[in-house]
Amino acid sequence: EADIYQTPRYLVIGTGKKITLECSQTMGHDKMYWYQQDPGMELHLIHYSYGVNSTEKGDLSSESTVSRIRTEHFPLTLESARPSHTSQYLCASSPISHTEAFFGQGTRLTVV
Amino acid sequence: AQTVTQSQPEMSVQEAETVTLSCTYDTSESDYYLFWYKQPPSRQMILVIRQEAYKQQNATENRFSVNFQKAAKSFSLKISDSQLGDAAMYFCAYRLEGSGYALNFGKGTSLLVTP
């Protein structure tokens, strides 16, 4: 089992609130990713990082932001949550070589 | 742009039978990696099997095997002796050279296993 953790697992929050989804990995992986999974289960890359102080936007435009101050930590922040942000968010990491990515258990976010 | 296509939104198999999930992809690269991931309901995405394009031999992991056809850009997953625990969404994925080597996923195939 991969050592990558996401908290919280489930979150229901009101419109306009600021939220941070946490993601941590203990494997020392340089690369980390955030995916948004829509109700049809399709996965879209929204952010990625090559390492400390590196953050890039993914293929799907997102109003969220990320930071990478430490190798093991890659939090995602929504400054003002909206119902359109309701989704499942998956965090993943991988070592520098061309191997698979390891996923966290996901955060299911509902904005009411 | 690299794309991954899974043409079967849903598949069904009886316990102990064999099922094949299809995946095609588009790329101009000659060396790359392909993956099948499994996502059980409300559970973690886990790797099922990995194939390196330069290896001609099809990858196998216990009851799971792939049929990798590089020229046809096809990468199907065969599950033998299906078990109830195999019920899940299955995603085919290609590792992108750009985007931090992120995985580019197909839309998934929902596998139902019936007793």
Residues B92/B67, Cβ–Cβ less than 8 Å: no
Asked if the Cβ–Cβ distance from B108 to A31 is below 8 Å, we say no
Region B82-90: mean pLDDT is: 97
pLDDT at B100: 79
CA gap A60, B93 in Å, rounded: 17
Q: Residue B37 has which token pair?
A: 């991931």
Query: Is pLDDT of A1 > 80?
Result: no
CA gap B37, A101 in Å, rounded: 10
Q: Which residues of B touch A42 (CB under 8 A)?
A: 105, 107-108
Of A56, A98, A105, the CB nearest to B100: A56
Phi, psi of B26 (to 5 degrees): -130, 125
pLDDT at B1: 58
Size of interface A-B (CB pairs under 8 A): 57
Place of tokens 């992986």: A29
Mutate to test the interface with A, among B52, B103, B107 (most CBs of A within 10 A): B103
Asked if the Cβ–Cβ distance from A48 to B39 is below 8 Å, we say no
Dihedral angle of Cα B14, B19, B23, B29, to the nearest 10 degrees: 140
Determine the distance in angstroms separating the CA of A2 from the nearest CA of chain B, rounded to an integer.
Answer: 9
Q: Residue A52 has which token pair?
A: 């400390």
**Does residue A5 sit at the B interface (CB-CB below 8 Å)?**
no
Query: Is pLDDT of A67 > 80?
Result: yes
**Percentage of chain A exceeding pLDDT 70:** 96
Asked if the Cβ–Cβ distance from A48 to B99 is below 8 Å, we say yes
Phi, psi of B38 (to 5 degrees): -120, 135
Model pLDDT for residues A28-65, shown as the tens digit of each residue: 999 999 999 988 888 999 999 999 999 999 988 889 99
Q: Which residues of A touch B100 (CB under 8 A)?
A: 31, 33, 48-50, 56
Q: Which residues of A touch B107 (CB under 8 A)?
A: 40-42
What is the β-pairing status of strands B10-14 and B109-114?
parallel
CA gap B88, A55 in Å, rounded: 32
pLDDT at A65: 95
Query: Is pLDDT of B24 > 60?
Result: yes
* Closest-approach residue (CA) in chain B for A10: B42
Place of tokens 């198999």: B13
